[in-house]
Chains A and B, each alone.
Chain A
Amino acid sequence: SQQGEEDPQALSIQEGENATMNCSYKTSINNLQWYRQNSGRGLVHLILIRSNEREKHSGRLRVTLDTSKKSSSLLITASRAADTASYFCATDARSNYQLIWGAGTKLIIKP
C-alpha cells in the first residue's frame, strides 16, 4: 500500500483562487517533501518540512504538517496559470533509504 496518498486526485480552480491539496501517510516520518511536475517533464522540489516543524512557507506556498494525524497540506495562494501541474508528496518512512511517493494531485488553473 502507498505511504503517501494525495487528495484530491484532481483539482480545477480559477486563476487567482487558492489551491489546497493534502497528503496522508501511514508510518512515522523524519521529513515530508512536496514536488511539482509539469506535463511530460521531470519533478521539481518545492519544499521539505521536518517532523518537528508544523508550518513552512516559500513564496506563495504554505505547507503544514500534522504528525498526530499523519497528514500534510500544500496551499498555493493566488494561483496562476503556470501553477498548472501535478503535485506529489514524498515521505522518508522506510528504513532502506528510499522516498515513498504518492500518486499525485493534478491541478488545473483556468484563466
Chain B
Amino acid sequence: DGGITQSPKYLFRKEGQNVTLSCEQNLNHDAMYWYRQDPGQGLRLIYYSQIVNDFQKGDIAEGYSVSREKKESFPLTVTSAQKNPTAFYLCASSLGSQETQYFGPGTRLLVL
C-alpha cells in the first residue's frame, strides 16, 4: 500500500534530551513537511523540503532540526533547545509544492 508512515505513535522526552520522530513515504513525492499542532489549534509549519538534500525553515523552526538524505525519509529531531515540545507532530508529503498534501497518522510527544 502506498502511503506515509510516522513512528512512534507516542514519544516521551526527558528534560535535556533530543528525540527523533520518523517519517517515511513511498508515494515518490518530492516535497515533505513537518507540522506542529497544539490542542484545538491549526497547523504550524516547522520545516519543509522540496527535494533531497535540501530543506527550509518554516514558521517555528527554532529548537528543531531535520535531514533529507533520501527521498522517502524526512526525520525530525526535537532538540533540548525546544522548551515547550509537548504537541502533536504531523508529517506530510506532496508531489509538488502547494499541491495536495498527504498526511501521516501523527506522533504525540509528551515531556516527562
Interface of A toward B, CB cutoff 8 Å: 2, 30-31, 33, 35, 40-45, 48, 88, 90, 92, 96-99, 101-104, 106
Contact = CB atoms under 8 A, between A and B. Distances in A.
B49 to A, nearest CB: 11
Describe B's contact surface by its main secondary structure.
strand
Contacts of B92: 42-43
Given A88-B43, A98-B45, A101-B42, A41 B106 contact: yes
A102 B37 CA distance: 12
Most chain A CB within a 10 A radius of its CB, from B42, B56, B108: B42
B102 A97 contact: no
Interface residues of B, number: 25
Interface of B: 6, 31, 40-45, 48, 50, 56, 58, 88, 90, 92, 97-98, 100-106, 108
Contacts, number: 54
Given A42-B6, A43-B43, A43-B90, 16 more contacts: A33-B101, A40-B88, A41-B105, A41-B106, A42-B103, A43-B103, A44-B103, A45-B101, A92-B98, A97-B97, A98-B45, A99-B98, A99-B101, A101-B42, A104-B41, A104-B42
Nearest to A30: B98
Contacts of A92: 98
Nearest to A47: B100
A40 B106 contact: yes
Contacts of A99: 98, 101
A106 B44 CA distance: 18
A80 to B, nearest CB: 22
Contacts of B88: 40
A15 B2 CA distance: 33
A90 to B, nearest CB: 8
A97 to B, nearest CB: 3
Given A40-B106, A96-B56, A101 B100 contact: no
Nearest to B103: A42
Given A98-B45, A98-B58, A42 B98 contact: no
A97 B98 contact: yes
